Structure 1
């Protein structure tokens, strides 16, 4: 299993690193597009496992939404899509998570179908927008999610006693989430201290608003990275599956790897656009 994970990760890095550092930004956009369309396919298979052909149509529909908004160059529509995604994560996702496993996937299938066609395309536009602000800007913003995950894992393993959402993800603890947040504070501080201030979201916010609002922003982004992880875990449990798919051998599916980015990136894009 470990060897499979390493091989898959090595192949992904061999593809992604040249795209990041040697090719024009459009190729990174294409890479993200492929990943998000694959995530849409997985999303549909989870909410309607019996309709395997429909999953392909759902992925195509997600692709059409992205290409249509991109082709129209409708900045207002793209912004509206980002806003809808952010409003979902702020005002609907917490109530859904609060329900735990007391939900009927069959009953909420139309809701999840519409939700996927909002939050997945919004994630792609957010990633592309952040890349337009600079490669370092994009990578440091994405890295916040990984830092939160790493901190939560190790602190949770060492000190985790109180479950964060026992019915959804028994392995997550409150102590782990707080540990991830503290590590994110340190990470943001290091970004502001050692990188050009305008090259990162954290530095830009520290310049514009000061340290306290910057750390509040980090708190929000870290919290919603946890929300994204829990939301996908809840959906998988409702669907009765361990992984979103087997597209990435040893790692599960694309959604399993990007779940924490799905809420965080649209929020980060709006915060970056604000300044």
Structure 2
């Protein structure tokens, strides 16, 4: 299993990194549109859609993202979409985690499809807009989520005692969450120092937050973003548990599905864009 995970991860990096660093916008847009369409297909399948409807949902989602790009909605500035996603993830995420997996299927299937469509669409729009700011900014947001996940895993393994959400994800602990937050703060300090030393193509998320809000504001913002990455992970786990599925699909051998890899990114990207636009 580990070998399979590593091979899949290497293949993904070989595909994604050249597109990310390409001077043209279309390679990165094309790859991420394919990924968001696949994530849409997975979401629909997890929420009572048949095969044909799930495929149509994924195609429609990718088309909506492409239409937003064609309309000029992909840009580095402020957008109402960021703040709408901010509110929905904070309020809706808290409510979903409070009621648990048993309440999710009680929502009409159409409502679940609309919520997933909105979450995936705004996340893709924020991802594409982050790319227009610069590769350094884009990578800093991606690495925030990865650092939080890795530090939470090892911190939870070493110190985990109190379960975070036993009914949704039994493996997660509060100690893991705090370890993830600490890992993100360490990463931010190192990245800010690197920004000052190297002067990359764009400021990182961490440098922008420091410039806008000072040290205390930076720490609070990063703690909040780390917490929201956990919320994204837990919400996807809740949906899978309600559907009786272990993984969102088998598209990525050793990793599950696309949603399993991007769940924590869904709230983080639009919220990061919202904070950066202040």
Q: Do both share a fold (TM > 0.5)? A: yes
TM-score range, shorter chain: over 0.9
Contact 2:101/2:239 (8 A) holds in 1 = no
State the partner residue of 2:37.
37
**Structure 2 vs 1, CA of residues 127 and 169 (structure 1 numbering), >3 Å: closer, same or farther?**
same
Instruction: Give the CA deviation at 1:87.
Output: 1.5
In 2, Cα distance between the equivalents of 1:239 and 1:200? 38
TM-score under structure 1 normalisation?
0.93
- Give the corresponding residue for 1:258: 262
Count of residue pairs the alignment pairs up: 272
Task: Note if contact 2:148-2:180 (Cα within 8 Å) is conserved in structure 1.
Answer: yes
Distance 1:74 1:55, change over 3 A: same
Q: Normalising by structure 2, what TM-score?
A: 0.92
Q: Could you tell me how far apart the structure 1 residues matched to 2:137 and 2:214 are? A: 18
Of residues 213, 216, 234, the one that matches 1:212 is 216
Flag the 1:177–1:73 CA change in 2: closer, same or farther, 3 A: same
Query: In the alignment, what sits opposite 1:129?
Result: 129
Contact 2:232 2:264 in 1 (8 A): yes
Aligned partner of 1:13 in structure 2 is 13
Per-residue CA deviation, residues 65-87 of structure 1 (Å, 9 max, x unaligned), is: 222322233579x9333332221
Deviations 1:146-195 (A, max 9, x none): 00001110010011000000000000000010011111111111112221
Aligned counterparts of 1:152 and 1:223: Cα–Cα separation in 2: 11
Cα pair 2:104 2:239 within 8 Å, conserved: no
CA contact (8 A) 2:144 2:226 kept: yes
Q: Which stretch of the first structure deviates more once superposed, 209-218 or 106-115?
A: 106-115
Displacement, 1:113? 0.7
Q: Does 1:179 align with 2:182?
A: no
Structure 1 portions without partners, runs of 5+: none
The equivalent of 1:73 in structure 2 is 72
| Equivalent residue number for residue 158 of structure 2 | 158
1:56-205 aligned within 5 A: 56-74=55-73, 79-196=79-196, 199-205=203-209
Gaps of 5+ in 2: none
> Per the alignment, in what secondary structure is the counterpart of residue 103 of structure 1?
helix
Partner deviation per Cα, 1:209-238 (whole Å, 9 max, x = no partner): 210001111011101000000000000000
> Structure 1 35/75 Cα, relative in aligned 2: closer, same or farther at 3 Å?
closer
